[in-house]
A and B are shown apart, each in its own frame.
Chain A
Amino acid sequence: MDKTLNVINDMLQEGLFRKYAIGGGIGALFYIEPMATFDLDIFILPVEAPAGLISLSSLYDWTAKRGYAHAQEQIIIEGIPVQFIPAYNDLVTEAVIQSMEKKYKEVMTYVVRPEYLVAIMLQTSRPKDLNRLGVFLEEAELSMDLLNSILDKYGLKNSFDRIRKGRHGE
């Protein structure tokens, strides 16, 4: 994964996006026990085109020139399927901006903070997100002050309380 992260850091250096952070299952992996997942989800703050449009074609062109294959929306970079996801709402944008620097082997990278991952899982609310959310609540070290402020800001407090009550019968 270090080689993959090096390539993503090169893309950042070359201005293909303004900032990135690892999210999804691999973002979660930094905070909880390993669970099977196949994609390396990379949230990006894209570079806006003059007309305000966002295009990922520059990413696909850049990687294609370097011989990285595409499989559906994924790009296989150094043996790992990478999914670039433009920050699609204010919560995800803030999650990328507030991401933490972390090291994988000797490579510096950026990872979404656990409190933002919880909020994104709540907002997305697919069965696999809710399953992972339960594991997060058991295992991850969360700042409840930060989490509560994010949940309040994005109107997710009631959903969170409902799920927590369901889990613990509180």
Chain B
Amino acid sequence: MANDIKYHNDFVDRVFEGKKEYHRKAAKLPIEEKVRILVELQKIAVAIKGKDTANEKRIIWQLD
């Protein structure tokens, strides 16, 4: 069909491998940096979903 876009398998493999590599690198960050990122994720989660759920009080961590 005209709308079909045929990608070369190598290209798709490279895209997915690049994504995996990005996540693996993020996994190897120093824990202090991960905690800093975590607090940013907490802020985003609270902005989207609100502070509290039935099971959880969502308190954004206060770091130094």
Question: A139 contacts which of B24, B32, B37, B41 (Cβ < 8 Å)?
Answer: B24
Q: Is B6 in contact with chain A by the CB < 8 A criterion?
A: no
Contacting residues, chain A, for B62 (C-beta < 8 A): 78-80
Question: Contact at A1–B35, with CB atoms within 8 Å?
Answer: yes
A38 in complex: contacting residue of B20, B31, B42, CB < 8 Å: B42
A68 within 8 A of B: no
Q: Does B15 contact A (CB under 8 A)?
A: no
Chain B residues closer than 8 Å to A139, beta-carbon distance? 23-24, 26-27
B4 proximal to A (CB < 8 A): no
Contacts A38-B56, A38-B59 given: A33-B32 contact, CB under 8 Å? no
Instruction: Look across to chain B and name the residue whose beta carbon is closest to the beta carbon of A2.
Output: B64
Q: Which secondary structure characterizes the binding site on chain B?
A: helix
Kindly supply a per-residue 1/0 record for chain A positions 1-37, scoring 1 wherever the CB is within 8 Å of any chain B CB and 0 otherwise. 1110000000000000000000000000111111111
Chain A residues with a Cβ closer than 8 Å to the other chain, count: 29
Query: Interface centre among A3, A34, A135, by most B CB within 10 Å?
Result: A34
A71 proximal to B (CB < 8 A): yes
B38 touches A29 (CB 8 A): yes
Over the window 67-101 of chain A, the binary record of Cβ atoms lying under 8 Å from chain B Cβ atoms (1 yes, 0 no) is 00001101010111100000000000000000000
A contact residues vs B (CB 8 Å cutoff) = 1-3, 29-39, 71-72, 74, 76, 78-81, 102, 104-105, 135, 138-140
Q: A34-B37, A36-B42, A38-B60 are in contact. List 18 more A-B contacts (CB 8 A).
A: A31-B27, A34-B26, A34-B29, A34-B41, A36-B44, A36-B45, A37-B38, A38-B45, A38-B58, A38-B61, A39-B56, A72-B57, A74-B59, A78-B62, A80-B59, A81-B59, A105-B32, A139-B24
Question: Can you list 25 contacts pairing A with B, beta carbon distance less than 8 Å?
Answer: A1-B61, A29-B31, A29-B34, A33-B27, A33-B34, A34-B26, A34-B37, A34-B41, A36-B38, A36-B42, A37-B38, A38-B56, A38-B57, A38-B61, A71-B57, A71-B59, A74-B59, A76-B59, A102-B31, A104-B31, A104-B32, A104-B35, A105-B32, A139-B23, A139-B27
